[in-house]
Amino acid sequence: MFEFEALVSSLGAAQCTEYLGNVRIRQGDYDSAEKLLVSAKEVYVQLGAQSDLAYCHCSFGTLYRNQGRTLEAIESFENARNIYGLLGRQHDVAQCSSEISKLRNAM
């Protein structure tokens, strides 16, 4: 049981870290946001938390879009879209595709 609790605790901490990263994006503190998102992403990868990883890629996409890093934003949304597709989450696939289209049209 302890191992399970530790995994849940790690996942919860990563989700809180990602949430804080998204707050930092809204505040315009992009350097801090990126560090927080990288930290959360590492945990999601380690735990195999695909849904959370996809959402994290969307957060990176938003960060990069706000920074004018269009190609990286597109790549992040594509990564999210691919994961959502594997999970059968078509609504999220459509949202990512919309973000990608907007970014490509703005180039």
* Nearest alpha carbon to residue 50 among 81, 8, 84: 84
Q: How far apart are CA 15 and CA 10, in angstroms?
A: 9
pLDDT at 8: 52
Each residue of 18-50: pLDDT tens digit? Answer: 999 999 999 999 999 999 999 999 999 999 999
Q: What is the rounded average pLDDT of the residues 55-67?
A: 98
Each residue of 70-100: pLDDT tens digit? Answer: 999 999 999 999 999 999 999 999 999 999 9
Question: 7: pLDDT confidence band, cut at 50, 70 and 90?
Answer: low
Place of tokens 């696939």: 93
* Nearest alpha carbon to residue 88 among 60, 62, 46, 54: 54
